[in-house]
Amino acid sequence: MAKVLMNGNSAIGEAAIRAGCQCYFGYPITPQNELTEYMATHLSRKKGCTFIQAESEISAINMVYGASLAGVRAMTSSSSPGISLKQEGISYLAACELPAVIVNMTRGGPGLGSISAAQSDYFQATRGGGHGDYRTIVLAPSSVQELADLTYKAFDLSDKYRVPLVILGDGMLGQMIEPVEFSYEAPKELIIRNNALRGAKGRTSRIVKTFTSNPATVEEINWSLFRRYQLIKQEEVAWDTFMVEDAQLIVVAFGIAARIAKGAIKSARIEGMKVGMLRPITLWPFPAEKVREVANRTNYFLVFEMNMGQMIEDVQLALEGAGEVSFYGRTGGVIPTPNEVLRVISRLYYQKGLK
């Protein structure tokens, strides 16, 4: 298929439909409405597919839970305040080992915040978010093309490990229009069907639940989840690097911030500064080993995020004191320019006496 121009939110919708997503449940919130509207237009009339504008984000995530029980690929999307409401359902999905894709086109917070792009839901996304001891896989795209590509991957990974998965985008990625090519075809037989609740025909009845009166059983559920999380950490870590080979200063940034940082790094290179970038694509599992590997070449890291400093904790944990980590962030929906980041890079570069 040829490239088409599309906004990021719609690209997720198209990719999800191509990934065989049969059910979408949403609730309007800016800046992700184009996705809900895309599904209303393109999914609702598709045979065997369902689109519902739910009465709340809580209902939407619980509808996803119901559809996932039936063994179909299902998704919901929202933005920060709405994602907070979905946390109850995400915890249940994690506990019941049900696949689901949740898109968060993050906006400025806390509270109602602003409708402009932010990355301040990093902690919420990567630490589980709801109650209990669980994780979600978190994917962080940084272009419209990657939104599409990671949407396919989201369904595949979520089905494979039977864990809910969060696509952590932001309001800018959702709104920006870029060329995108759709190339994925969903597997004919989806593994999510295997454990479906579709009536006990020709088999014994099946129960999907977490509650038991025996704490030791719940502890065992936690161990079972933990073992799966260890496997995901081994197998699914993804990242991208940009000009790291000779870099004396490494910028660590994800999503749209990485896009902005890339512009700054290109300018820094023109000015002769050896700057590179490590961009985590999976925020959980976090590419800690890759951070340590890069730290063999340089001691200087600049974490750049559109929040008050959240991913920086994962970078520091990964380095275990091995590198010197600085931070620059804008938040609340303020979008920094590449020049602003370049100024931070230059200042740091010369302060540290790098050449």
Partner 1 sequence: MKKIYTRPKSLKRTPFHYCPGCGHSITHKIMTELIDEMNLQDKTIGIPPPGCSVFAYNYFDIDMAESAHGRGAAVATGLKRAYPEAIVFTYQGDGDLAAIGTAETIHAANRGENITAIFINNAVYGMTGGQMAPTTLLSQKTTTTPYGRDDKIEGYPIKMSEILALVKGSAYIERVAVNSPANIIKAKKAIRKAFQVQIDCLGFSMVEILSPCPTNWKMSPVESWKWIDEVMVKEFPLGVIKDITGKKDAG
| Residue 95 identity | A
Query: CA-CA distance, 189 to 207, in Å (whole number)?
Result: 23
Helix (H) or strand (E) holding 92: helix 80-95
Least spacing, CB of residue 207 vs partner 1, in Å: 4
Q: Which is nearer to partner 1, 195 or 299 (CB)?
A: 195
Q: Which is nearer to partner 1, 58 or 335 (CB)?
A: 58
Least spacing, CB of residue 54 vs partner 1, in Å: 7
Query: CA-CA distance, 241 to 142, in Å (whole number)?
Result: 13
Least spacing, CB of residue 45 vs partner 1, in Å: 14
Q: 234 near 118, Cβ under 8 Å?
A: no
* Residues forming beta bridges with residue 242, ordered by sequence position: 277
Asked if the bond preceding 110 is cis, omega within 30° of 0, the reply is: yes
Least spacing, CB of residue 50 vs partner 1, in Å: 4
Distances (CA, A) of 130 to 53, 66, 105: 23, 18, 18
Q: Which is nearer to partner 1, 202 or 353 (CB)?
A: 202
DSSP 195: G
Least spacing, CB of residue 60 vs partner 1, in Å: 8
Least spacing, CB of residue 61 vs partner 1, in Å: 8
Beta strands 74-78 and 50-53: pairing type? unpaired
Handedness of CA 120, 121, 122, 123 (dihedral sign): positive
Asked if the bond preceding 287 is cis, omega within 30° of 0, the reply is: no
Helix (H) or strand (E) holding 345: helix 338-351
| Residue 17 identity | I
Q: Which is nearer to partner 1, 77 or 116 (CB)?
A: 77
Q: Which is nearer to partner 1, 55 or 189 (CB)?
A: 55
Q: Which is nearer to partner 1, 90 or 247 (CB)?
A: 90
Q: Which is nearer to partner 1, 15 or 90 (CB)?
A: 90
Handedness of CA 68, 78, 311, 157 (dihedral sign): positive
Q: How large is the angle between the packed helices 8-18 and 144-161, nearest 10 degrees?
A: 40
Least spacing, CB of residue 169 vs partner 1, in Å: 23
Which spans of this chain sit near partner 1 (rule: CB under 8 A)? 22-23, 25, 50, 52, 54-56, 58-60, 62-72, 74, 88-89, 92, 96, 196-202, 205-211
Least spacing, CB of residue 112 vs partner 1, in Å: 20
Q: Which is nearer to partner 1, 188 or 203 (CB)?
A: 203
Q: Which is nearer to partner 1, 224 or 230 (CB)?
A: 224
Least spacing, CB of residue 37 vs partner 1, in Å: 19
Helix (H) or strand (E) holding 346: helix 338-351
Distance of CA 123 to the CA centre of its chain: 12
Q: 12 near 148, Cβ under 8 Å?
A: yes
Length in residues, the chain: 355
